């Protein structure tokens, strides 16, 4: 994938250290190198660093490997040594994972540990520390306290909050062609210095205080999750009254106050951001004495979508015990191999609980899935996965699944049942090819009611 603005390079290159070679860190490092800066990307996982040095990425992101290879021999280096990443840096971007704890809060141990390590090796140059990790409101001030405690008489490092808005599958474009950049700081000189790094991108830069910048990230993801759960609740009503949720969503989306994005009914959201961030924001609200009913309901509706689809399939097939079900799509969305909080994993767990024989298929996420479900059969070919199956569930709308050959699929299946968890297939076309079709929030026609008896 060619980067659209590779010619927009800085006239004042800086030395940048990026701590963390996960999705956010690696994309940040590669894109700053693309903008002309000299970047050292550091991770404590020595094996990961070794593989990155050979051009092997730990995850799939379109166009990222090409960008890494483009700059690895010049502007971009990988290291497991904090001193190498921080010692000569003008800026250090902290992009360390903040997983969710059992209580729903963000686990900040890795972020604090990384900040302490940065402060200890920073030396006299005193780089600006930029907080890129998604963490609760107040984390940047917490990091400032950590840096002060580790300053060793040199004075604490200045800190700027810079939340990330990278979507898996489009992360390079999101970095190089952003809708906005958000920067929060108490030190205005530090804030402006970080802002200058983004000037070649020619995008709006929002300058705020630290806590407001941190809240922008959580509020944005919570709102997107709310839109998804809202349309899924409307979809259930549509099924009961005989309306088509796709038309409802189109009609709603034409209103510029609402917009059409994130109004696609289905089996709900997953991934490393929306579920984690909504849980963390709900936990934060409760800690401060608020009552996050809406946030909790958004999560409950999302979880219910998976159960609702399995219930409908059980009712259609007369039970799931002993049936063979193919799940097409394992990653939480197309364009990535990330299975964190993926709806497909919930579907597999529910089907296994009902003693169904589960087959699975995905272009990139098979290996990660088999680590969680060693007993299921995984195929890279959807027709092999569907062979002798009683039903096929579409969980992730990869292009190769959207464009599937219905005649070929029907020929290999034992019973002709499609459960479209993403409303990606044309119901009428599926029915013309002899399938019983279950969509999300779509009316069931009279001929299908007749077919249900025969399945």
- What's the CA angle centered on 111, arms 183 and 156, to 5 degrees? 65
Q: Quick check: is 273 catalytic?
A: yes
Taking a C-beta distance cutoff of 8 angstroms, is the pair 331, 310 a contact? no
List the end-to-end C-alpha distance of the chain, in Å, as a whole number.
45
Catalytic residue (choose from 273, 361, 378, 389): 273
User: Measuring CA to CA, which residue among 157, 94, 93 is closest to residue 120?
Assistant: 157
User: Measuring CA to CA, which residue among 134, 337, 94 is closest to residue 221?
Assistant: 134
Residues marked active site are found at 273
């Amino acid at each position: 994938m060619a980067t659209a603005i590779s010619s927009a390079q800085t006239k004042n290159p800086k030395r940048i250290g990026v701590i963390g070679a996960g999705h956010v860190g690696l994309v940040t490092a590669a894109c700053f190198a693309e903008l002309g800066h000299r970047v050292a990307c550091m991770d404590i996982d020595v094996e990961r660093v070794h593989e990155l040095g050979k051009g092997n990425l730990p995850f799939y992101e379109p166009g990222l490997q090409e960008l890494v290879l483009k700059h690895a021999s010049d502007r971009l280096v990988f290291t497991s040594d904090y001193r190498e990443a921080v010692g000569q840096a003008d800026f250090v971007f902290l992009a360390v994972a903040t997983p969710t704890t059992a209580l729903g809060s963000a686990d900040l141990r890795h972020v604090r540990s990384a900040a302490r390590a940065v402060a200890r090796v920073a030396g006299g140059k005193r780089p600006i520390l930029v907080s890129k990790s998604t963490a609760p409101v107040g984390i940047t001030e917490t990091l400032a306290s950590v840096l002060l405690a580790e300053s060793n008489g040199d004075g604490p490092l200045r800190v700027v909050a810079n939340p990330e808005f990278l979507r898996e599958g489009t992360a390079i474009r999101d970095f190089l062609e952003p809708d906005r950049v958000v920067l929060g700081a108490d030190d205005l000189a530090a804030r402006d210095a970080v802002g200058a790094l983004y000037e070649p991108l020619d995008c709006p830069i929002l300058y705020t205080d630290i806590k407001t910048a941190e809240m922008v990230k959580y509020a944005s993801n919570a709102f997107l999750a709310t839109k998804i759960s809202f349309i899924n609740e409307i979809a259930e009503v549509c099924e009961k009254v005989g309306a088509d949720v796709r038309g409802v969503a189109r009609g709603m989306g034409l209103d510029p106050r609402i917009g059409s994005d994130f109004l696609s009914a289905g089996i709900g959201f997953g991934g490393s951001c929306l579920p984690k961030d909504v849980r963390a924001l709900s936990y934060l609200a409760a800690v401060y004495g608020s009552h996050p009913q809406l946030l909790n309901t958004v999560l409950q509706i999302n979880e219910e979508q998976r159960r609702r689809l399995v219930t409908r399939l059980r009712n259609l097939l007369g039970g799931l015990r002993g049936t063979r079900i193919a799940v097409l799509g394992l990653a939480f969305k197309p364009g990535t191999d990330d299975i964190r909080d993926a709806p497909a994993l919930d579907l597999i767990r529910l089907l296994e609980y009902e003693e169904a024989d589960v087959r699975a298929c995905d272009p990139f996420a098979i290996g990660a899935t088999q680590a969680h479900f060693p007993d299921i059969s995984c195929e890279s070919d959807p027709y092999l996965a569907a062979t002798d199956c009683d039903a096929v569930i579409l969980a992730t709308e990869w292009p190769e699944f959207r464009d599937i050959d219905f005649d070929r699929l029907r020929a290999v299946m034992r019973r002709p049942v499609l459960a479209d968890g993403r409303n990606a297939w044309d119901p009428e076309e599926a029915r013309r090819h002899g399938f019983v079709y279950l969509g999300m929030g779509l009316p069931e026609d009279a001929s299908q009611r007749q077919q249900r008896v025969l399945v």
